Amino acid sequence: MKKTKIVKHVKTKKVVSNGASCPSFVWSWAIYVYWFIILFFIAATFYIIGRGHEFLHPSRNVVITEEALMRPQDYVDSAKQKIMAGDIDDALTELNVAIDSNANSDVYALRGELYMQMGDYQKALDDLNAAIEIDGVNAIAFYDRYLLNTRLENYDAALTDINNAMAAQSMKPADVLTMRDLYAKRAQLNLWRKNWQGAIADYTNSLARAEGSVSANVYAERAEAYTAMGEYENAINDYTSAVRIISEQIQAATSQEDREAQSSNAMSYFEKSAALNLQLGRNDMAKSDLESAFAIAVALNDTDSANRIQNLINGIN
DSSP structural state of residue 69: G
At 192 the pLDDT is: 95
Query: Rounded distance, CA 16 to CA 18, Å?
Result: 6
Domains 72-177 and 207-317 fall in the same CATH topology: yes
CB 162 within 8 A of CB 143: yes
Residue (of 70, 84, 145) closest to 109 by Cα position: 145
Whole-prediction pTM: 0.73
65 burial level (CB within 10 Å; 0-12, 13-18, 19+): exposed
Q: Is 253 left (phi over 0), alpha (psi -120 to 50) or beta?
A: beta
At 58 the pLDDT is: 47
What residues form DSSP beta bridges with 22? 14
At 35 the pLDDT is: 53
| Whether the predicted pLDDT of 76 surpasses 80 | no
Q: Tens of pLDDT along 19-74?
A: 444 454 444 555 655 555 555 555 555 555 444 444 444 444 444 344 443 566 66
266-280 average pLDDT score: 98
Residue ranges per structural domain of the chain: 14-56, 72-177, 207-317
Angle formed by the axes of helices 179-192 and 196-208, to 10°? 160
CATH 1.25.40.10 fits 72-177, yes or no: yes
Q: Looking at the structure, give the CATH architecture of the domain made up of residues 207-317.
A: Alpha Horseshoe (1.25)
Pairing between β-strand 21-22 and β-strand 14-15 as defined by DSSP bridges: antiparallel
Q: Measured between alpha carbons, how far is residue 7 from residues 4, 10, 165 in Å?
A: 9, 9, 107
Q: Tens of pLDDT along 85-144?
A: 777 777 787 777 877 877 788 889 888 998 999 999 999 999 999 999 999 999 999 999
Query: Rounded distance, CA 147 to CA 155, Å?
Result: 10
Q: Tens of pLDDT along 96-111?
A: 787 787 778 888 988 8
